[in-house]
Chain A
Amino acid sequence: MIWSSATEFFAMGGYAVYVWGSYGVAACLLAAELWLLARRRRTLLRRLGRNFTAPDRRP
């Protein structure tokens, strides 16, 4: 551990905006991608479920 306090850690030697701007945007983009992927699968499964049980497709 190279930091002596949490304040020092978050200040990043004066480069907080640049460092946390990088890490924060990276985290947000990855989270957004995963959310979109999960949503795509949910909608898809819902649509498929409806298709399978539509009257003309029932065995």
Chain B
Amino acid sequence: MAAGLWRFASPQVFYPLAGRMLPWFFGAAVMFALAGLYVGLLVAPTDFQQGDAYRIIFVHVPAAWMSMFIYLVMAFWCAVGLAMNTRLSFMMALALAPTGALMTCLALWTGSLWGKPTWGTWWVWDARLTSELILLFLYIGFLSLHAAIDDMRRADKAAAVLALVGVVNVPIIYFSVKWWNTLHQGASVSLTRAPSMAATMLSGMLLMALAAWMYSIAASLMRVRAIILEREAEADWVRALGDVPVPRASR
């Protein structure tokens, strides 16, 4: 089993596999999003305290979860890459970063739009918001550092070290609402106690979270395929792919 999985560490094997998985993840993302939007916007009742402003939750929470989770996965691939020197691990990390940054932007943007009607302000420097902003800077730092170093192997390793150092920020974001007195509310959903929200609200949020998962996987797979092609452009197997069109004139 383990030996079988190692096969997929080869870009040549992973590239077509990722291509075959893509439509399934995109399809699942669309289905979950449609179901989640239906439940969240048309079925879930108006909140008795926040009115309909709370419906931002169906974008905000999935985006915030993904922003943290993608960072963890990215750091995991960086660690694997540094430890085992596998090419594909670094490509995976690099492919995840822009989608992670996008999710962080969305979490901050929707949070701001939610903060204005409920707290009366777009932004406060409280622990949750500040650590999430730092997460955005970590993603941007990772990508900029990688782009700034010409030698690909050195760029991979330097950015990986940065990602691993930054991973300490993720538990800080997650537990910030417990450790400090924040304006941001505590977790509505946790593993240790029953969720503090109505069943339809919760199911809408979970459906949207699943959609965000599927979308993130699909977008990252698309990007990793491009990165593989870019880096392996000279390899014979890329030539042998049916993917690359040959201009008519030179056939």
Contact = CB atoms under 8 A, between A and B. Distances in A.
A52 B102 CA distance: 35
Interface residue tally of chain A, by bracket?
20 to 34
Contacts of B117: 15, 18
Given A33-B219, A53-B246, A22 B59 contact: yes
Interface residue tally of chain B, by bracket?
35 or more
A41 B222 contact: yes
Q: Is the interface of B mostly helix, strand, loop or mixed?
A: helix
Contact of A22 (B114, B239, B250): B114
A15 B239 contact: no
B158 interface: no
Interface string A28-51: 011001100110110011101111
Given A19-B53, A23-B59, A37 B42 contact: no
A14 B51 contact: yes
Given A15-B117, A52-B239, A52-B244, A2 B219 contact: no
Nearest to A41: B226
Given A22-B59, A22-B60, A33-B99, A48 B229 contact: yes
Interface string B106-121: 1001100110110000
B51 A29 contact: no
A46 B234 CA distance: 14
B4 interface: no
B233 A15 contact: no
A18 B98 contact: no
A33 B219 CA distance: 8
Given A12-B55, A33-B99, A22 B109 contact: yes
A26 B51 contact: no
A25 B229 contact: no
Contacts of A15: 51-53, 55, 117
A53 B60 CA distance: 48
A46 B226 CA distance: 12
A19 B106 contact: no
A17 B56 CA distance: 11
B118 to A, nearest CB: 9
A24 B63 CA distance: 14
B42 A3 contact: yes
Q: Rank and list the top 6 A-B pairs by shortest CB-CB distance, nearest first.
A: A13-B52, A53-B250, A15-B53, A22-B110, A12-B52, A18-B113
Interface of B: 41-46, 51-53, 55-56, 59-60, 63, 98-99, 102, 105-106, 109-110, 113-114, 116-117, 215, 219, 222-223, 225-226, 229-230, 233, 238-239, 243-247, 250
10 contacts: A12-B53, A14-B51, A18-B117, A22-B109, A23-B59, A29-B102, A29-B105, A41-B225, A45-B243, A48-B238
Interface of A: 1-3, 9, 12-15, 17-19, 21-23, 25-26, 29-30, 33-34, 37-38, 40-41, 44-46, 48-53, 58
